Structure 1
């Protein structure tokens, strides 16, 4: 198995945490990539027309892209239980979408601040995406008690969201704004798959 890899990407990180939790991370070859919304990495495009990471190749040479697809493939292929059972699957997938949305909004803010010249930056866009992060995290703050003792695609994705905010948008200061999530994450973040993949 192979993956186009960027250590700073929260979506790549999510995929690798899933692989770590499933015990197969050492079976995945990491192919260096420099995907960007502006300067696109042309080495990825023959495998993924969007040119994005993560892009994943299975042992039978099937190409998968989008972290949601890759994570679910790995979970199914290697007997994981990260996507709930027949009773919880739809609520898990819905919460996964909410946590993924927080990451996506964070990336859009980061791109606006990094890729767009300062004179052309759109403050209303930044405010709108920042509000999406806020309401997304409030959704989980209100149900933080349900996260206890869970290791699944939702808690993994939230971990990636929190650490990406700390890494790229520290002024958002989610820890002070969402104390129940902070209390939960202080315990969850010592898990080896989380601690060893944190962006630096």
Structure 2
């Protein structure tokens, strides 16, 4: 975490969340923001296209990536999960179940969906490399991990219902990214519980607002 050295923290200001519309990592805190009802406390700024807006990020800290949050004390926070935790704390933990068993299940789900998001991201970037430099064993391993996480999420979906928590939000972000970058995964095939749930949950206003555009 890097702290801005100017007098920003001495002023009472609205917090600001920098994001890029199609980033699954940036979608996650945006969903937290809207589902927790923090829209009036946090201003959102889309830095798409990134190449033209990197200077904004580097002016505040060394991370140079989205998502990034400027708090009302002047702190500049990067890393998607940290921002989600910060915003959830700010909301009074609206997206963290109070019961220990349900809380632990939500954290487990968040971890599983984070694994999926990471492996999808790695496969995307490996696929952008010149074919002669791509490592087939890495791509195959990541594809297997993705299939295993889809299966795990399908099993977990039996208990999702209409619940919204940090685990659910991470699952939505990962699956939306899969549809955009890896449609050939066909993750809905053979996973009816997950597919039906995702279709229902995608109708929520926050899901529509933050969905990837492609």
Stretches of structure 1 that go unaligned for 5 or more consecutive residues are none
What is the CA distance between 1:187 and its match in structure 2? 1.1
Query: Are residue 69 (structure 1) and residue 82 (structure 2) matched?
Result: yes
8 Å contact from structure 2 (residues 25, 67) kept in 1: yes
What is the CA distance between 1:43 and its match in structure 2? 4.3
The structure whose RCO (Cα within 8 Å, separation 6+) is larger is 2
Partners of 2:206 and 2:60 in 1: CA distance: 28
**Is the alpha carbon distance of 1:13 and 1:72 closer, same or farther for their aligned partners in structure 2, counting shifts above 3 Å?**
same
**Backbone CA RMSD of aligned residues:** 2.0
What CA deviation, in whole Å up to 9, does each residue of 1:118-171 have, x standing for no partner? 221112111111111111121121222111121111111111111111111111
Partners of 2:186 and 2:169 in 1: CA distance: 20
8 Å contact from structure 1 (residues 4, 33) kept in 2: no
Residue from 128, 150, 164 that aligns with 1:151 = 164
Query: Are residue 12 (structure 1) and residue 26 (structure 2) matched?
Result: yes
What is the CA distance between 1:55 and its match in structure 2? 1.3
Partners of 2:98 and 2:50 in 1: CA distance: 34
Q: What secondary structure, in the 3-state scheme, does the structure 1 residue paired with 2:57 have?
A: coil
8 Å contact from structure 1 (residues 99, 154) kept in 2: yes
Partners of 2:46 and 2:104 in 1: CA distance: 33
Query: Are residue 32 (structure 1) and residue 47 (structure 2) matched?
Result: yes
Q: Determine which structure has more spread, i.e. the larger CA radius of gyration.
A: 2
Which residue is 2:150 aligned to? 137
Which residue is 1:56 aligned to? 69
8 Å contact from structure 2 (residues 126, 139) kept in 1: yes
**Is the alpha carbon distance of 1:35 and 1:134 closer, same or farther for their aligned partners in structure 2, counting shifts above 3 Å?**
farther
What is the CA distance between 1:2 and its match in structure 2? 1.4
Partners of 1:177 and 1:44 in 2: CA distance: 42
- Worse-superposed segment, 41-50 or 93-102: 41-50
Partners of 1:48 and 1:92 in 2: CA distance: 31
8 Å contact from structure 1 (residues 35, 51) kept in 2: no
Partners of 2:111 and 2:151 in 1: CA distance: 15
Stretches of structure 2 that go unaligned for 5 or more consecutive residues are 1-14
Q: What secondary structure, in the 3-state scheme, does the structure 2 residue paired with 1:28 have?
A: strand
Partners of 1:48 and 1:96 in 2: CA distance: 27
Q: TM-score, normalised by structure 2?
A: 0.83
Partners of 2:66 and 2:49 in 1: CA distance: 9
Q: TM-score, normalised by structure 1?
A: 0.89
